[in-house]
Amino acid sequence: MDTKQGTSAISKTSGTLQSSTDAMTFSKAAAILSAHFPRMELEKDRLAVMYEFLKDLPPDKLVKGLKKFCMKHREVYPQTNIIAYIREYALIDEDELTPMEAWGLVKAHIATGAKLPELVDKAAGAVGWMDIRMSEKPGVERAHFLKAYEAMAAKEREQKIMGTL
């Protein structure tokens, strides 16, 4: 599909465009998708839906998510939820700690008093600082922390991806 046609379709079907810059950025994103996945059909209705779900992303995040999507996916199948992938790739921080890295920070905090990221502190608080410090079986407390941290991190990731929807 011609991306100029897609852009004009977006302009006509979505009365919520706030500036031509947003339409221009999205038009470029649609052109990248179309060029990278030539067999993917980008009809005006599909573009309008994609725009509606991606318009809240800052332009740099949209480009980041789109680039990552193109790099990670060789093919796009009809049932591929492109919007979900682009949102996830755009909003998830690559520097997010793994549960074991977070546990290492907890141990360092106990030893040195180092400042903890909010999520790590929250997960440790859920397990109980006293239990972590005084446990005779630190492996058990570590397992509880890892589960708590993983659940909290997943919830935070989900909230970032869902945004203001």
Residue 138 to residues 59, 105, 116: CA-CA distances in angstroms?
45, 15, 19
Question: pTM for the whole thing?
Answer: 0.59
Confidence check: pLDDT of 19 > 60: no
* Residue 165: per-residue pLDDT: 54
Least confident of 25-34, 63-72, 92-101, 129-138: 92-101
Helices (H), the chain: 3-13, 20-36, 44-54, 59-72, 82-91, 99-112, 118-127, 129-134, 138-162
Q: What is the mean pLDDT of the chain?
A: 82
* Residue 5: per-residue pLDDT: 42
* Residue 164: per-residue pLDDT: 53
Per-residue model confidence as pLDDT tens digits over 48-102 = 899 988 888 888 888 888 999 999 888 888 888 999 999 888 888 767 889 999 9
Q: Looking only at Cα atoms, what is the longest distance across the chain?
A: 67
- Alpha-carbon distance 156 to 124, whole Å? 16
